Amino acid sequence: MKKILAPSILAADFANLQRDVEMVNNSEADWFHIDIMDGVFVPNISFGMPVLKAIEKHATKFIDVHLMIVNPDQYFKTFAELGANMLTVHYEACTHLHRSLQSIKAEGMQAGVALNPHTNVQLLKDTIKNIDMVCLMSVNPGFGGQHFIENTYQKVRELKQMINEQNANTLIEIDGGVTNQNAQQLIEAGADVLVAGSYVFGAENPTQTIADLKQMMNN
């Protein structure tokens, strides 16, 4: 399967959001990665529903929404209506994760689970078959532009082994600090989806940077 690149809109220029969304539309990128932060689960507030609505109006690609919020279940229906294709909740924010996954799917979306850097992948052993994607945080969630945590490679390998052993159909996404320095190694370890924010939008030529990353990932 072709590896997926998901530019993170958190690093876009919010005053030129339509331009940046169209840049992604016209690039080799596969998905939009949208970070929703509530200032409670993470020490930062990003943006909410009206901004997602504005993005969705112009986006022509798959929308991958990463919820860094407490009590996410109350908003599943709203995110489905706003056009989310994948909805990812944090393991650390869900007391009844199995139920949350069922509810996301009942709204017609794919269901993802994100793990903070300190959270062991083995905690997903009993529900991996219900998860469409695991997002391994390779930085502490809350901010773009942080340094990649090296221990992530080990987590990818361990998770990949669990997925294979259970014959699950689960994608592995890596989120945080992805650059041309680690993309290839992450794919070799077993990653399927790479999120890249500041590396893409901070580049002089984001379209070319996306093309170069994609080539690196699919070689």
- Euclidean distance between CA atoms 149 and 11, whole angstroms: 19
Catalytic status, residue 175: yes
- Residue 205 identity: N
CB 203 to ligand DX5: min, Å: 11
How do 62-68 and 31-37 pair as beta strands? parallel
Q: Are 178 and 152 in contact (CB under 8 A)?
A: no
Our CA angle for 130, 171, 82, nearest 5°, is 75
Residue 83: both structure tokens together? 């056009």
Our CA angle for 22, 28, 33, nearest 5°, is 65
- Euclidean distance between CA atoms 81 and 102, whole angstroms: 17
Does 132 belong to an annotated binding site?
no
Does 112 belong to an annotated binding site?
no
Q: Which is nearer to Zn ion, 33 or 160 (CB)?
A: 33
Other CB atoms within 10 A of residue 188 CB: 11
User: Residues 58 to 117: which contact Zn ion by CB under 5 A?
Assistant: 66
Segment interacting with Zn ion, rule: CB under 5 A, options 37-45, 125-133, 171-179, 202-210: 171-179
Of positions 20, 30, 35, 173, contacts ligand DX5 by CB under 6 A: 35
Q: Which does 196 bind (CB under 5 to 8 A by kind): Zn ion, ligand DX5, none?
A: ligand DX5
Q: Which does 10 bind (CB under 5 to 8 A by kind): ligand DX5, Zn ion, none?
A: ligand DX5
Of 20, 30, 35, 132, the active-site residue reads 35
| Residue 11 interacting with ligand DX5 (CB under 6 A) | yes
- Euclidean distance between CA atoms 114 and 175, whole angstroms: 9
Of positions 8, 103, 170, 182, contacts ligand DX5 by CB under 6 A: 8
Size of the site for Zn ion (CB under 5 A): 3
The alpha carbons of the chain give a radius of gyration, in whole angstroms, of 16
Residues recognised as catalytic: 35, 175
Which residues are near ligand DX5 by CB under 6 A?
Answer: 8, 10-11, 33, 35, 66, 139, 141-146, 175-178, 195-199
